[in-house]
Structure 1
């Protein structure tokens, strides 16, 4: 069985990276399914909590174009926005929306884990994909497709929590949504049930490219590194290559994540709709803010990739060790 914990990437959707999958495969123990899910969920929650200030800065930059003109945006730096949060909202405001992120972790990990195993079992039953472990290309295909489908399934099943997280995180001084349940009820009442799935299309569009880029970059870098320096620590190689693959994935898929965030905020607090669809959102942002506008907030996103992967893995290893001892006691 495989423990699967998403640490996020440019997609912003907690899609598991190939690097994280490899790290957890390398650290497999005889833990049962429930302890693995528990350890994976907690590891993801700890990682997200530690990097929450950077995650909030990313989201605030992503949605700035909805509330300010281009001239104002050009003067805003990461340090300036961080200072504004501390001065206007207090230091604790860096963790706005983090509770819903933590609540999101276990159901997402559970759906992702369960659906991955089901998809993998189904694909392995297809005669043309059956390899019995002796055909590397077929195994890679099965894992790649299973990972993509499980990411889509988990993202769809838990998407309302992701939308609520964006709206809570994007709030500044005016608190229109008072918490998770209040946000869910308000969105359903004011925008209808479909309002809980605004931006889902852009999210699912980013799942496939995110996994493909992360997987291919990670595998290529790891293979090259191990060929040149076979005696280096496996942990160091995995963490470094995983971080670089996360940066590559973020760079390519970040515009999709930015569009998703802006669509998620449409209709919030009674605001008028600006974007008719994901494609119109792309066009509007590029026309009004240029290419730079599609990458607004990419810097804090880069900064959280390395600690995000490292913290998730180290927390998972620690919990796995503790749970293994408690099971054997």
Structure 2
């Protein structure tokens, strides 16, 4: 694969979109679980859901099944940018560095792969942050307009900062996920190749193994970035009555821990893991099949 080969970017974006459609309702339950129970936000003090299944059922019954897919279009737009840049950058950068090593890339180098993955994840997530903000707000049920109108409304009310709210936490989370997920998948696939070959069963097992580590590593930052993205701060800095604002990542961590306990940082862990598993399976199986067109 040459230095200017764009196929990893194209295939990464396409596979990400397919995976997003297949797992989005689980992501909606995760977002709603992470938002609830906030002591400093009167909109979300109530614990409406007891878990992923309860959230899935209540949302379907009270708002309709369509509500589970509210926010799907900004999510697809996000994957078209985030997924394209993330996976394309990782595989391209990893390959370019491997070809310059003494062994000519004959062996995988885990530290190099981890650094490439973290860089690709953080960069792509920061670029795609506005679509993530819209997705979160639509999933919570507080934004009902289309993507373009919602984007314009956030810009008018909150300015550019509103579209990049939670960007630092999002980039850090994405870097953690990518650093735990992509090198783990490559390492597992390589280890299983003698027994399973470079076949779908190998891709399935490797993607499941990669998803657990990334879920454990990323959930606390995922809770923080979801809450930061959902809060609104208008251009004139006015707030709703009795509403407070998290000052940043550290403040959100501290306030959540102090008011709700350490386990609150793992709110939505089950749907996060349940989503990452199928998401990775769908993505990597799709990606590996698209690679057959190389």
Measured against the shorter chain, the TM-score band is: 0.7 to 0.9
* 1:126-137 correspondence runs (5 A): 130-133=101-104, 136=107
Contact 1:286 1:293 in 2 (8 A): yes
Pick the aligned partner of 1:156 from 118, 121, 126.
126
Task: Please give the per-residue CA displacement for 1:123-160, whole angstroms capped at 9, x wherever unaligned.
Answer: 579xxx743526747x4444332222222221121111
Cα distance change of structure 1 residues 249 and 179 upon mapping to structure 2, 3 Å threshold: same
C-alpha distance in 2 between matches for 1:145 and 1:77: 35
Unpaired runs of at least 5, structure 2: none
1:196 is aligned to 163
Distance 1:316 1:104 in 2: 18
Give the Å deviation of 1:55.
0.6
The answer to whether 1:247 aligns with 2:212 is: yes
Contact 1:148 1:211 survives alignment (8 Å) = yes
Q: Point out which structure has higher relative CO (alpha carbons under 8 A, 6+ apart).
A: 1
1:190 CA drift (Å): 1.1
1:307 — aligned with what? 278
Q: Which residue of 2 aligns with 1:64?
A: 36
Q: Is the 8 A contact 1:101 1:165 kept in 2?
A: yes
Q: TM-score, normalised by structure 2?
A: 0.81
Matching residue within 295, 312, 315 for 2:266: 295
Match of 2:63 in 1: 89
The correspondence for 2:255, drawn from 279, 284, 287, is: 284
- 1:29-77: CA deviation from partner (whole Å, max 9, x where unpaired): xxx94555444322211211111110100001011123444xx539623
List gaps (5 residues or longer) in structure 1.
Answer: 3-31, 325-329
- How much does 1:119 deviate? 4.8
Deviation at 1:320, TM superposition (A): 5.3
1:181-238: per-residue Cα shift (whole Å, max 9, x none)?
A: 1121111111111111111111222244333333565567667767xxx434544344
Distance 1:255 1:152, change over 3 A: same
Preserved CA contact (<8 Å) 2:12 2:87: no
1:267 to 232, 235, 251: 232
Does the Cα contact within 8 Å between 1:218 and 1:242 map onto a contact in 2? yes
User: Offset of 1:283 from its aligned partner?
Assistant: 0.9
Instruction: Specify whether residues 68 and 107 from structure 1 end up closer, same or farther in structure 2 by C-alpha distance, changes over 3 A only.
Output: closer
Cα offset, 1:287, TM superposition: 1.3
Is contact 1:168–1:179 with CA below 8 Å preserved after alignment? no
Residue number in structure 2 paired with 1:48: 20
Q: Structure 1 residues 268 and 81, CA, compared in 2 at 3 Å: closer, same or farther?
A: farther
- The 5 A counterparts of 1:188-227 are 188-214=155-181, 218=185
Q: CA RMSD in A?
A: 3.2
Distance 1:152 1:266, change over 3 A: same
May I ask how many residue pairs the two structures share in their alignment? 282
- Residue 168 (str. 1) matches residue 138 (str. 2): yes
SS of residue matched to 1:65: coil
